[in-house]
C-alpha cells in the first residue's frame, strides 16, 4: 500500500514538473525523506496511522487527525508539526517551541501554561525535516 502510494506520488511529481506552475511541484527527494520520517523516525503513524487517515495504534492517545481531510496549507502544516496543537495530544516537534526566542502562535511557555502540547514520544525534528514531512503530507494525503 505504501509502495503504491509512493508510485502515485512519483507520477504526480513527474506530471507536476512537466506542467510549470502545478501546485504539487516539490522535490521528489523531499517527499521520500518526509515519508521515512512520518513512518519511522518521527513515528507520526503511531497516532495518525500509516495511511494518514487518523487510524493509529490503539495504544496511542487517540484521535489523531485524518490528514486526507485537512484544510491546512503547507505553511500551516509546518506550524502545527513544529508547535503541536495546544490543549491536545498533538506534540510539538520543534525542540525549542514556545521558548522566548521561538514563540508559537504568538505564545511563549508562560502564556500557554498547562495547554502546552507534549514533546514527541519519538524525537524532535529539524526545520528541514518538518518541511519534508509537510511536503509528503501534501503530495500523499491531502484531498486524496
Ligand atoms: C501522540 C499522538 C500524535 C503524534 C505522535 C502525532 N500527532 Fe499529529 N495530531 C494528533 C492529534 C490528537 C491531533 C488532533 C488535534 C486536534 O484535536 O486539533 C493531531 C493533529 C495533527 C495535524 C493537524 C491536522 C488538521 O487538519 O488540523 C497535523 C498536520 C498533524 N497532526 C501532523 C502530524 C505529524 C506530521 C506528526 C509526526 C511528525 C504527528 N502529527 C504526530 C496526535 C499526534
Whose cell is 495504534? That residue is 57
Q: Are 44 and 133 in contact (CB under 8 A)?
A: yes
Whether residue 138 has its Cβ less than 6 Å from ligand 1: no
Ligand 1 closest atom vs CA 37: 38
Tell which CATH classification among 3.10.310.70, 1.10.760.10, 2.60.120.380, 3.40.50.1110 matches the domain 29-140.
1.10.760.10
Choose which residue among 49, 62, 90, 120 to substitute to test ligand 1 binding: the one with the highest number of ligand atoms within 8 A of its C-beta.
90
pLDDT, residue 24, reads 53
Q: Give the model's pLDDT for residue 1.
A: 47
Mutate to test the pocket of ligand 1, among 46, 48, 75 (most ligand atoms within 8 A of CB): 48
Closest C-alpha to ligand 1, atom 39:
44
- Cα 65 to middle of ligand 1, angstroms: 6
Residue of 30, 3, 9, 14 lying closest to 140 (CA atoms):
9
Nearest to 139 by CA among 3, 40, 11, 1: 11
Reported pTM:
0.86
Instruction: Choose among 126, 131, 122, 133: nearest CA to 32.
Output: 133
The domain ranges of the chain are 29-140
Average pLDDT, the chain: 88
Confidence class of residue 26 from pLDDT cuts 50, 70 and 90? confident
How remote is the C-alpha of 143 from its chain's centroid?
15
Would you say residue 23 has pLDDT above 70? no
Ligand 1 mutation target, pool 83, 85, 137, 142, most atoms within 8 A of CB: 85
Q: What is the pLDDT of residues 1-22, one digit of tens each?
A: 445 555 555 555 555 455 554 5
Q: For 30-79, write each residue's pLDDT tens digit.
A: 899 999 999 999 999 999 999 999 999 999 997 899 999 999 999 999 99
Q: Is the pLDDT of residue 107 over 60?
A: yes
Q: Alpha-carbon distance 94 to 10, whole Å?
A: 28
Amino acid at each position: 500500500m505504501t509502495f503504491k502510494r509512493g508510485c502515485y506520488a512519483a507520477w504526480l511529481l513527474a506530471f507536476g514538473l512537466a506542467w510549470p506552475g502545478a501546485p504539487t511541484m516539490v522535490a521528489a527527494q523531499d517527499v521520500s525523506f518526509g515519508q521515512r520520517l512520518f513512518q519511522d523516525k518521527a513515528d507520526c503513524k503511531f497516532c495518525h496511522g500509516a495511511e494518514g487517515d487518523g487510524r493509529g495504534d490503539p495504544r496511542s492517545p487517540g484521535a489523531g487527525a485524518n490528514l486526507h481531510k485537512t484544510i491546512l496549507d503547507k505553511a500551516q502544516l509546518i506550524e502545527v508539526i513544529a508547535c503541536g496543537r495546544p490543549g491536545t495530544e498533538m506534540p510539538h516537534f520543534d525542540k525549542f517551541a514556545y521558548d522566548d526566542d521561538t514563540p508559537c502562535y504568538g505564545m511563549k511557555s508562560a502564556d500557554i501554561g498547562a495547554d502546552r502540547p507534549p514533546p514527541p514520544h519519538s524525537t524532535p525534528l529539524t526545520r528541514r525535516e518538518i518541511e519534508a514531512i509537510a511536503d509528503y503530507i501534501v503530495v500523499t494525503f491531502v484531498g486524496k
